[in-house]
Amino acid sequence: MSIEANIDLGLLVERDLITLIAALKALGASPIVDNDIARFRHQGREALAGRPGELMLLDRAGRDLLAEGGPHWVPEVLRPSAATWAQEPGHVSISDLLPYVPGRGRQVTVSLPVNSPSGERYVLLFAVQPSHFTTLMQSARLAPPHFGALVDRTGAMIARTVESDRFMGTRVTDLSAMEGATGRVDATNVGGVEVRRFYRRSPISGWYVLTSVSHAALQKSTRQSLWLLAAVAASLMLIAVPCAVILTRRMRYAARLTKEAARQLVRGEPIDRRSTGIAESDMVCHILAEASDRLRDQAESLRSTNQDLERRVADRTRELADSHVLTESILENSPDIIKVLDVRGRVIFSNERCRTLHGEDPRVAAKGRLWSTFWPGEGGKAAREAIALAQRGRPSRFTAWRRAESGEQHWLDVLVTPMVGADGLTRRILAISRDVTAHHARDEELQVAKERAEAASVAKADFLATMSHELRTPLNGILGYADLLGSDRTLSQSQSRRISRIQDAASGLLRIVNDILDLAKIEAGDVTLELRPFSLKDLVEKASAIVMPMAQAKHLVLDIEIQDGLPPALLGDPDRLKQIMLNLLGNAIKFTETGRVVLRAEAPPATDGRCRLTIQITDTGIGIPAELQHLLFQRFSQVDAGSERRFGGAGLGLAISRHLIEQMGGRIEVESALGTGSTFRLDLDLAVADMSTGPAEDVPLACSAFEANVLVVEDISLNRELIGELLTALGASVDIVSSGEEAIAAVQAKSYDLVLMDEQMPGMSGSAATRIIRSLDHPSHDVPVIACSADVLSHHLRRFEEAGMNGHVGKPLTQAALAKVLIRYAFRLRTQPVRREAPLPVVASPEASTSGRHWLSEERLDAARGNLREDIRILRDTIRAGDYEAAACKAHAMISTACILDFPGLSKAAQSFEAACKGGAPDGPERAHFLACLDETVAAIGEARAAQRARVIVVPETAVPPAESPAEPDGGVMASSYPTSLMKRLRSRAGDRP
């Protein structure tokens, strides 16, 4: 109790000091310390209302600024120490009991340094009378004989619960014995009485709170407790002895009854339920009785269960015997050979099937023979591998053969599986063999059939390749010489028409050959797409320009509708897309007698760099019945497949188009009804491309503008003459040999810029000759070699590439195709050393920069202008005579002239006028536009002739070529008159080449 009283008294004093300190800190934080003293004094009274003591605000001079009537000096005893002034604002100092001051008595102070807003330092001090603490401790109402006291850090008595005024300031002895924050000591108090003192040191003020009780009071309390304890013990003895005697008798009786109940439980007899008067004993007897009853019930249940188990065991034994018989029957009658092996692969069981199939006695076969020794050849190896896998817990399967007792060879499909025990290890191995001789025979037949089918496929591919070569070779001569004859201005009009008919017929045959080859590539999976940037607008315009004469010849309107805002460049295969559009446009015009054909291209805004392109081709033709639309995309199938065959065709175009569209990731749909026309819709998802990365447009070619040494290797004389004339017309120097052996000798004897190599030649093939050329230790080993062959299938192209050829140009050949090869692999312009005094003219337009007429010689320009004037005269006479068929032929002949001289406007005007003449409307605006273009062309040739006379070309034979005119391998230089912009475009087309 004394300890709890000391704790309560200490907390009471500390709580009072904490409250006082909090009030002083709140008051010290007021910002009006030196602005309004009266207001500050009022705040202090409110903050400390009800607390006895005096609040002072001291400056460094020791004056109380809060005193009534103005500042006045305070006694020296109350003034803060220098250490207090040095403390940080907000640090609280609590003093010990101060000496006596007249008019004030003895006090303790609580001081707090504060700073005013102006930076002045003050000390806020509160003086407390010791009587306040006396009253505070008396309020705790300590129970007698305890009494409390409050002692400062020096041991001086501040307050006491009894006789406080008498002992105020008296020193407490044995202060040094009170170590630590709390404790207990035996000491003599200030009144000279021996006491037991309980102390607690305040962590806030450092004062000691004491609670004491005299030794005499403690001894008196102890004596009273002992007497009381003795009285209680005597009373208990008087009551306990009789009770113990009675209880002992009852417990003996209860023990006797309990022992008897236990004996009855052991003997299995029923237990009498009698009461002993003791609840615990009665409970034990009751439990024993219940246990006895339960044991008897369990015994009865066990007897019944035992009988049931015996009956079930008998039934189970009978079932197991039946199951064993059934299992043996299944094993013995199974069509499969079943063997059980031990973990080492030795046979421990075989069924009867092994006797009927192999003549083995199961009892003999089960005498520990290794199972793998039953299998001859590779079968034994497979059996050993299967056993090894089964030993590791893995099933396996293999097929092997064994000979039956009759000598016949039987193929067996063998399944080997491990029989795993409870510990997860393989204990036995089960091998089941099934006779698959019939299946094996069928598999061999299927393999033979497969090999025959593959051989047939190879034969078909070889046949197509051979037929392609044999068809393209004569077509090469037909089309090549037809092109040369078509450019001959000495032919009559009827001869020109006949040449045109030959060209049309040969081109039609070439289209059929190309379609058949495309179909063969599709079946072989060899069709690949060449993705590159292209302009959809330009592609549509080129396709429509090709079919425009067909439409005009039938008086049809061909409308092209391209949605605004389409991406300027897309990534795809423009050649294949053009092929598809030409096929669909050609079909639409073919099957439309009157009306129009509309090509519409549209797409929603591109997202994520993709464009969902839709192309619709709509016609007003005959339409397609719904029941025949399923034939549209089938190979060699036509809706118009009857005996009339009004429209012709091989029935391959749509099938090829659908495959190409599907390979591009798109789809094609058709909507049509008989008599209402048809609409073909293409949906393609293409990537948006940057046109700046795409290839340059085809550069107009000029005749006789190339200076290149070309070796032609061709075994057919017709082709040799044709290729030689085509290359000579382009200005190249041509040497011709007829075999691979001659080509190897020729490249070592002379330096060539290009070799055009045929593939199929007697003796050495073109690929073999190229390999030998590449292996030569000669400067000509890296000469560009181009395959010039009618072999155009993918495996042919791979063979050319593997042989070291640089490229391929397919037959039949055209002058444009050969010119592109020359540009890419052997580009060099014909130049003449000339001196002029006038400066080099600056080409102002892109068209001029790519014009072929600017590098033609003066003689060629004069001849071209004279021929053109003569053509214009003949054309005007023909028009006046009304012979529009002849006028159309003359316009057609001028198309090639315009292309050679690089007049695209004249070329288009000639095409339009030709179509108008064939369509029966020669008097339209096409004729006036065509004649105007002719006059402009003659004037433009004259301007080019005048510009050449003013041009300065100084190309000394020994001079080093400038940076703008890179030197060619043979020492020639590119003409300085050839524009730099065209050089860049041609070089970009040619790529990096040696």
And the tokens for 112?
Answer: 């707090």
Output the CA–CA distances (angstroms, integers) from residue 895 to 368, 412, 501, in the order listed: 96, 77, 16
Q: Is the pLDDT confidence value at 742 over 80?
A: yes
Phi, psi values for residue 890, rounded to 5°: -65, -40
Q: Residue 490, SS3?
A: coil
In terms of pLDDT, which residue wins out, 859 or 220? 220
Q: Please compute the mean of the pLDDT values over residues 341-345 and round it to a whole number.
A: 87
**Tens digits of residue pLDDT in 230-269:** 888 888 888 888 888 877 877 777 787 777 777 777 777 7
Place of tokens 């004259």: 942
And the tokens for 709?
Answer: 């040494």
- Name residue 187's beta-bridge partners: 195
pLDDT of residue 834: 32
pLDDT of residue 599: 93
Whether 172 and 190 have beta carbons less than 8 Å apart is answered as yes
Least confident among 138-147, 361-370, 432-441: 361-370
For the whole prediction, is pTM greater than 0.85? no
The edge-to-edge listing of strands for the beta sheet with 108-115 is: 72-73, 63-64, 54-58, 121-128, 108-115, 93-94
pLDDT band at 648 (very low <50, low <70, confident <90, very high): very low
Give the chain's domains with CATH numbers.
1-234 (3.30.450.20), 334-435 (3.30.450.20), 443-522 (1.10.287.130), 528-693 (3.30.565.10), 846-952 (1.20.120)
Q: How far is 275 from 175, CA to CA, in rounded Å? A: 72
Q: How far is 677 from 672, CA to CA, in rounded Å? A: 6
Least confident among 62-71, 140-149, 385-394, 809-818: 809-818
Q: Please compute the mean of the pLDDT values over residues 278-292 and round it to a whole number.
A: 77
pLDDT band at 845 (very low <50, low <70, confident <90, very high): very low
- Name residue 432's beta-bridge partners: 338, 415
Q: Is the pLDDT confidence value at 222 over 80?
A: no
Whether 639 and 574 have beta carbons less than 8 Å apart is answered as no
Q: Residue 135, SS3?
A: helix
Nearest CA to 383 among 328, 317, 337, 318? 337
- DSSP H or E run through 410: strand 409-420
Q: How far is 289 from 292, CA to CA, in rounded Å? A: 5
Least confident among 763-772, 904-913, 915-924, 984-993: 984-993
Q: Residue 593, SS3?
A: coil
Q: Please compute the mean of the pLDDT values over residues 591-598 and round it to a whole number.
A: 90
Rg from Cα positions in the chain: 62
Q: Is the pLDDT confidence value at 187 over 50?
A: yes
Q: Is the pLDDT confidence value at 983 over 80?
A: no
pLDDT band at 985 (very low <50, low <70, confident <90, very high): very low
Phi-psi group of 726: left, alpha or beta (phi > 0 → left; psi -120 to 50 → alpha; rest → beta): alpha
Q: How far is 965 from 956, CA to CA, in rounded Å? A: 13
Q: How far is 911 from 917, CA to CA, in rounded Å? A: 10
pLDDT of residue 804: 93
**Tens digits of residue pLDDT in 503-561:** 767 766 776 677 666 666 666 666 677 888 988 888 888 888 878 888 888 888 899 99
- DSSP H or E run through 184: strand 182-188
Length of the chain: 994
Residue 410 CB contacts under 8 Å (≥ 6 apart), including other chains: 357, 401, 402, 403, 404, 435, 437
Q: How far is 463 from 442, CA to CA, in rounded Å? A: 31
Place of tokens 């749909």: 669
pLDDT of residue 967: 32
- Name residue 157's beta-bridge partners: 151
Phi, psi values for residue 151, rounded to 5°: -120, 135
Give the chain's mean pLDDT: 77
Buried b (16+ CB within 10 A) or exposed e, 148-159: bbbbbbebbbbb
Least confident among 38-42, 180-184, 625-629, 947-951: 947-951
pLDDT of residue 518: 66
And the tokens for 638?
Answer: 């036509």
pLDDT band at 698 (very low <50, low <70, confident <90, very high): very low
Residue 100 CB contacts under 8 Å (≥ 6 apart), including other chains: 106
Residue 962 CB contacts under 8 Å (≥ 6 apart), including other chains: 976
CA angle (245 as vertex; 242, 248 as ends), nearest 5: 145
Q: What percent of the chain has pLDDT over 70?
A: 77
Q: How far is 253 from 278, CA to CA, in rounded Å? A: 10
Residue 185 CB contacts under 8 Å (≥ 6 apart), including other chains: 174, 177, 178, 196, 197, 199
pLDDT of residue 33: 56
Q: How far is 185 from 192, CA to CA, in rounded Å? A: 15
964 secondary structure, DSSP code: T
Kindly tell me the number of DSSP H helices and DSSP E strands found in the chain: 26, 28
pLDDT of residue 582: 86
Residue 729 CB contacts under 8 Å (≥ 6 apart), including other chains: 484, 703, 704, 815
**Tens digits of residue pLDDT in 77-107:** 888 888 888 888 888 889 999 998 888 889 9
Q: Please compute the mean of the pLDDT values over residues 623-644 and round it to a whole number.
A: 59
Q: How far is 625 from 640, CA to CA, in rounded Å? A: 11
In terms of pLDDT, which residue wins out, 598 or 165? 598
And the tokens for 350?
Answer: 């075989």
pLDDT of residue 805: 94
pLDDT band at 888 (very low <50, low <70, confident <90, very high): confident
State the CB neighbour count (10 A cutoff) for residue 812: 25
- DSSP H or E run through 721: helix 717-729
pLDDT of residue 457: 67
And the tokens for 214?
Answer: 């005299």
Q: How far is 851 from 839, CA to CA, in rounded Å? A: 20
And the tokens for 691?
Answer: 């046109």
Place of tokens 């896998």: 389
Q: How far is 212 from 198, CA to CA, in rounded Å? A: 6
Output the CA–CA distances (angstroms, integers) from residue 41 to 20, 30, 55, in the order listed: 16, 11, 9
pLDDT of residue 901: 60
How many C-alpha atoms does 856 have within 13 Å on its Cβ side? 26
And the tokens for 934?
Answer: 């002719």
Tell me whether strands 709-713 and 733-737 are parallel, antiparallel or unpaired.
Answer: parallel
Q: Is the pLDDT confidence value at 28 over 60?
A: yes
- Name residue 418's beta-bridge partners: 429
pLDDT of residue 986: 34
Q: How far is 102 from 104, CA to CA, in rounded Å? A: 5
Least confident among 543-552, 704-713, 758-767: 704-713
And the tokens for 367?
Answer: 């005498």
Phi, psi values for residue 572, rounded to 5°: -175, -165
pLDDT of residue 744: 94
Whether 695 and 672 have beta carbons less than 8 Å apart is answered as no
Whether 261 and 289 have beta carbons less than 8 Å apart is answered as yes
Residue 538 CB contacts under 8 Å (≥ 6 apart), including other chains: none
Q: Is the pLDDT confidence value at 907 over 80?
A: no
- DSSP H or E run through 130: helix 130-138
H-state helical runs in 370-436: 378-391
Residue 872 CB contacts under 8 Å (≥ 6 apart), including other chains: 931, 934, 935, 938
Q: Is the pLDDT confidence value at 803 over 90?
A: yes
Q: How far is 589 from 611, CA to CA, in rounded Å? A: 29
Whether 371 and 383 have beta carbons less than 8 Å apart is answered as yes
Q: Could you give the angle at which helices 536-553 and 574-590 cross, rounded to 10 degrees?
A: 20
- Is the C-alpha dihedral spanning 283, 285, 291, 296 positive or negative? negative
**Burial status of residue 760 (CB atoms within 10 A of its CB: 0-12, 13-18, 19 or more):** middle
pLDDT band at 736 (very low <50, low <70, confident <90, very high): very high
Whether 369 and 346 have beta carbons less than 8 Å apart is answered as yes
Q: How far is 803 from 445, CA to CA, in rounded Å? A: 39
